[in-house]
Amino acid sequence: MPAIRAQAELSDGQLGTALLFIGAGALPAMLVTGRAVDRWGLRVAALLLVTLGAVGTLVAVAGRDVWSLSAGLALLGASSGAADVAINSAAASAERSSGRPVITRAHGTFSAMVVIGSLSTGLLLGGLGVPVVVPFLLVAGVAVGAALSVVADWRAALATQATDGTTPVAAGAAPVTEGTEGADGTAPDEAKVPSTTEGTVPDPVRATPVAEGPVPCPAGAAPVTGKTVPVAAGAARGGGRRGYPGYAVRLFPLLVVGGLGAMAFAVENAHQSWGAVYLADVAGAGPALASAGPAVFAAVVALTRFAAGAVGSRHAVTVLVSGAVTAAAGTALVSVATTVPVVLLGLALAAAGTAVLFPMLMGVVAAHVGETARGRATSVVTTVAYLGFLAGPVYVGRWAEATGLPGAMVAVAALAAALAVLTWPSLRSAVGTGSPWDSPPGDPDRLEDVAGRAR
């Protein structure tokens, strides 16, 4: 960032204004990406990864003044926010289909790459003196490699479907059965799905039984009575989607989870953004030691996420409350610390606490939303949570102006404590009914398509 600021010849105030455009681009992109993910699956994630790498390089090349940098950062925010939704949706699908803690480990990998990217960029720019565009080109190359891996997985899923002769039905849809087709060779519009109490295959996503009655059939399915057609394994990862499913998401529980995520992100980003400043201004650390604060925080977050990956979403309340209490304790320790080692210890405790919060919340969403609506559900949760990410540094700044940085850390500790108190009643209100968080067409609680309403 200092190199970009120097290249564009910006003051600190102008840089702060330009950085606001990241959020301005990210929020609308996050809202609309989910529907594309539900329609096209992993191909969207692959495209967005390539776009993210390309836009990052564009910012490094074209950011020569406040206006060009602001425009580039808006595009970067849009591509980053959209990629965030697509990747979280893909991780949730993989976790649901494999039973492994993919979400937590994916977030752990992100945190580890933050540390590696920061140290590598410092070495390239400060140690080797390479142009500022070089680190962005390297990141773009990694993004393209990840996109190719995603495409390969999608093609492997299609090949599996073709080999097994299975019908590529999106995971979360009702199981389909063999039988006759309509007179024109197309599948009927609706399928009669037997109750799971009669010994048929249960719904692969929801914990609740599938009730008897007509259920909208995704495009490509051929449902009638008879032998159950297996769903391809790749469909659960997004590789086998066809058409556009009719299921939508229930807004209330997703807003509840997103609100908890916003509080978690506010605490996390407060430390990431202000940790180095606190070390320098309060603990009297030099530039090298001050820069160790965010690195220590990110490293502990990564290690905690890898270590806690085996904990499933069925223990969500315990993990979330424990994490919030640990974050509050670590932040409180930072607020009374005046030496570098104690501040770093507090930051490490806060990092360990915040590390488990948002991945666990996404695990809760994955457990309650079917594959056909997962992208839209992820859009809602991540967009609301991202508001907390943006607000966290501002929250600290306002409190710091009024009470000083130690007082601001007390305010952050209070926010983490509030999250611990609100977690149980909030999740109880969201999941207490036992109903799934997606619904068929015609349900009055569904989240309607804004464009559809306009028409």
The pLDDT value recorded for residue 16 is 66
Taking the alpha carbons at both ends of the chain, their separation in whole angstroms is: 44
pLDDT at 279 over 80: yes
Weakest mean pLDDT among 99-103, 156-160, 221-225, 363-367: 221-225
Count CB atoms within 10 A of the CB of residue 148: 13
Note whether 416 and 267 are within 8 A (CB).
yes
pLDDT tens-digit readout, 31-87: 888 778 877 877 787 788 888 888 888 887 888 888 888 888 889 888 888 888 888
**401 or 421, which is more confident?**
421
The pLDDT value recorded for residue 105 is 83
Among residues 136, 84, 92, which one has the least CA distance to residue 110?
A: 84
φ, ψ for residue 386 (rounded to 5)? Answer: -65, -25
Note whether 371 and 173 are within 8 A (CB).
yes
Counting every residue, how long is the chain?
A: 455
pLDDT (average), residues 335-355: 94
pLDDT tens-digit readout, 395-413: 888 898 889 999 999 999 9
**436 or 19, which is more confident?**
19
Average pLDDT, rounded, for the chain:
74
Q: In angstroms, rounded to a whole number, what is the distance separating the alpha carbons of residues 144 and 135? A: 14
| Strand-pair category, 213-216 with 190-193 | antiparallel
pLDDT tens-digit readout, 206-218: 333 333 344 344 3
Q: What is the pLDDT confidence band of residue 312, given thresholds at 50, 70 and 90? A: low
The pLDDT value recorded for residue 384 is 93
| pTM beyond cutoff 0.75 | no
